[in-house]
Amino acid sequence: MSRPDGSTDRTPGREPLLSVSDLRTVFYTDKETIHAVDGISFDIYPGETVGLVGESGSGKSVTARSLLGLVDEPGVVEEGTLEFKGEDLLETGWAEYRGDLSIVFQDPSNALNPVYTVGNQIREALAIHQGLRGSAARERAIELLEAVGIPDAPRRVKEYPHQFSGGMQQRAVIAIALACDPDLLVCDEPTTALDVTIQAQILDLLDELQREEDLAILFISHDMGVIEETADRINVIYAGEIVERAPTERLLAAPEHPYTEALLNSIPGRTPPDQRLPTLDGEVPTPDGPAESCRFAPRCPVAVEECHETPPDAVAVGENGTDHSAACLLAGESEPEGEQ
C-alpha cells in the first residue's frame, strides 16, 4: 500500500488490524474551517501498543474520535480510509464493528452515565456483544469488575458512578470496554484526569489486560513519559499532522524532528538534575487552512528560512530498514543532538 507521503510501517507477512491512511477531519464553524486532523496515516497490528503523543490541541482526541466514528458536529471526517480487519469503516460504517473497537476516555466521570448503576452499564455491553442476559450477565459483570481490580465487586456492581472514586471509575470504564470483547482499545489520555499513584495502577492494569486478552492498544497522551513506558511504536502528532514515527527505542535514542526532541526533553529524568527543564514557548497553532510552511517552524529552535516557505514531507530516516520517518527539512542532514 502506498501513501501520499510514501511512508510505510508495514511489516511483511503480518496484516495490520487497523490501517489509517490520509485521515482528514475538518470542523466547519461560522468563522473558520479547522483542519483538526490533516492527513494522518498509521497502522496498528494485533496485540501491540501504538502511542500517539502531542501537546493539547494537536488533534489527538479528534483522531481517536474519528477512528470510532464519534466526531460531533460541526466536525466531518472528510477524507482518508480507516481499514479495520480489511474493511474501510468510513464506507461500511461502524455498526458491525462496534465493540471490536472500544474506547477509554480521558475523564471517567463523564464517560459513565450518572443515572445508571455501573452494573447496568456493563450488562448493556454484555447483552449486545456476548448475548448475555439475566443472571449470567450479572455474574459476568462482577467477574469483569474483579478483573479490573475493583474490590468488593458484588456490592460495587450495584452502585452508581458517583459513588466510585476517580481511579475506580476509570477501572469501571475499562471493564465496560472489555465487556464489548474488543480487538482494539483506543485509550484517549486514560490517566490524565487521575492522581499520579492511580495513573501507574491503571497503566499496569492496561498492560496486564493487553497480555491476557491479546489486545491492540492505541495509547494517546500528551505525556511522553507515559507513552515511552507503554508504547511499542510512537507517532508524534503536531497540529493535525504526524511529524515523526519510529519504534519506541529508536525514537528515544535518535529523535529526528526538533519537536520530538522538545517533547523528550520535557521528561524530567532526561535532563541533568542541575539544569532547568527546557520548555517550549507558545502554543500549537490552529490549522485553519492547508499547510504552506512547516507548522512547527515558528516555535522551532533550529528552523532555517526554508522552513517558513515549504511544508516538509515525511522522509524515511531509518537505518537498515527501521521504520522511522520524520517530516522535517533538516531530518537526516544534521544531528539534532547536541543542539541547544
Partner 1 sequence: MSRLRYLGKRFLLSIPVVWLGASMTWFIIFMGPIDPASRLLSEGQLRNPAAYQAAETQLGLNQPPLQHYFDWMSSLLRFDLGQTWVLYEGSSVNALILDFLPRTLWLGLWSVLIAILIGVPLGFYAGMNSNTVADYVASLGGIVWRAMPNFWLAIILLAVLSTSPVLFGYRFEWETLFVSIDAISGSPDMTRIDTPDGFVAATKKVLPAALVLGSASMGNEMRIGRTAILEVRNEDYVDFAKAKGVSGRLLVWKHIFRNALIPLVPIITSEAFLLIGGSVLVETVFGINGIGQLFYQASVQGDLPLVGTLMYVFILMTVGINLLQDVLYTVIDPRVGLEGS
Count of chain residues binding partner 1 (CB under 8 A): 32
DSSP per-residue letters across 235-252: EEEETTEEEEEEEHHHHH
Q: Is 70 in the site for partner 1 (CB under 8 A)?
A: yes
Q: Which of 57, 99, 285, 332 binds partner 1 (CB under 8 A)?
A: 99
Q: Applying CB under 8 A, which part among 19-27, 32-40, 171-179, 213-221 lies near partner 1?
A: 171-179
Neighbours of 315 (CB within 10 A): 17
Phi/psi at 9 (5° precision): -120, 30
Binding map of partner 1 across residues 178-217, x = CB under 8 A, - = no contact? -xx-------------------------------------
- Nearest alpha-carbon partner for 294 in 312, 319, 271: 312
Q: Contact at 8 Å (CB) between 209 and 43?
A: no
Q: Which residue has the cell 475506580?
A: 168
- Nearest alpha-carbon partner for 222 in 257, 177, 187, 192: 192
CB of 231 to partner 1, least distance (A): 22
Distance, in Å, from the CA atom of 185 to the CA atom of 218, rounded to the nearest integer, reads 6
Q: Applying CB under 8 A, which part among 12-20, 66-74, 137-145, 319-327 lies near partner 1?
A: 66-74
CB of 147 to partner 1, least distance (A): 17
CB of 217 to partner 1, least distance (A): 15
Q: Which of 79, 87, 107, 229 binds partner 1 (CB under 8 A)?
A: 107
Instruction: Return the H-helix or E-strand segment holding 312.
Output: none
Q: Applying CB under 8 A, which part among 94-102, 148-156, 232-240, 273-281 lies near partner 1?
A: 94-102
Q: Which of 95, 269, 305, 338 binds partner 1 (CB under 8 A)?
A: 95
CB of 104 to partner 1, least distance (A): 9
Q: Which of 92, 163, 310, 334 binds partner 1 (CB under 8 A)?
A: 163
Nearer to partner 1, 103 or 330 (CB): 103
Distance, in Å, from the CA atom of 10 to the CA atom of 66, rounded to the nearest integer, reads 22
Q: Contact at 8 Å (CB) between 91 and 61?
A: no
Q: Is 105 in the site for partner 1 (CB under 8 A)?
A: yes
**Cis (ω within 30 of 0) for the bond into 74?**
yes
Provide Rg for the chain, Cα atoms.
21
Distance, in Å, from the CA atom of 122 to the CA atom of 141, rounded to the nearest integer, reads 6
Please list every residue from 143 through 162 that binds partner 1, using CB under 8 A: 160, 162
Q: Is 65 in the site for partner 1 (CB under 8 A)?
A: yes
Neighbours of 86 (CB within 10 A): 9
E-strand ranges in the chain read 18-28, 33-44, 49-53, 75-84, 87-88, 101-104, 184-188, 216-221, 233-238, 241-247, 315-316, 325-326
CB of 73 to partner 1, least distance (A): 8
Nearer to partner 1, 181 or 323 (CB): 181
CB of 219 to partner 1, least distance (A): 17
Q: Which of 72, 274, 305, 319 binds partner 1 (CB under 8 A)?
A: 72
Binding map of partner 1 across residues 121-140, x = CB under 8 A, - = no contact? ---xx--xx-----------
Residue ranges in contact with partner 1 by CB under 8 A: 65, 68-70, 72-73, 95, 98-99, 101-103, 105, 107, 110-116, 124-125, 128-129, 160, 162-163, 173, 176, 179-180
